[in-house]
Amino acid sequence: MSILGIGVDIVEIARLDASIQRQGQPFLDRCFLESEQAYCNSHREPARSYAARFAAKEAVAKALGTGFGAQLGWLDVEVRRKASGEPFIVLHGTGAETAGRLGVTEILVSLSHGELYAVANAVAIKGG
């Protein structure tokens, strides 16, 4: 087992909230799966949860070394939570194919947010 790459991203919560307000549902549908939207919308301040997930997706793209494009789409990266509350990543479609081609077997992720910013760190693990 080895580390393929690491990624980190920070998002200004107010800026992401402004994008949501300006672009509405089309923005949410372009960046977040239905399950992610349901989770974020269940909170009193959804923008914080959206910002943390947005940062996580960016961090995953950096950890894989692909960025977003032909090898990884926004909806290919899903942020879920275990019963314990720990976040984890599930890759879909082209993202799952790319990870397989790169030998990635797991992506570890950590999320945090405060009043102004949300941050995420991702580590792409290669091999078993």
Distance CA 117, CA 123 (A): 20
CA distances from 6 to 27, 105, 119 (A): 27, 14, 14
Distance CA 41, CA 23 (A): 16
Residue 43 falls in the annotated catalytic set:
no
Three-state DSSP class for 84? coil
Instruction: List the catalytic residue out of 62, 82, 92, 126.
Output: 62
Residues linked to residue 112 through DSSP beta bridges, in sequence order: 119
Which tokens is 5 given?
């790459």
Instruction: List the catalytic residue out of 57, 92, 113, 126.
Output: 113
Residue 82 falls in the annotated catalytic set:
no
Cβ-contact 64, 98 below 8 angstroms: yes
Active-site residues: which are they? Answer: 62, 113
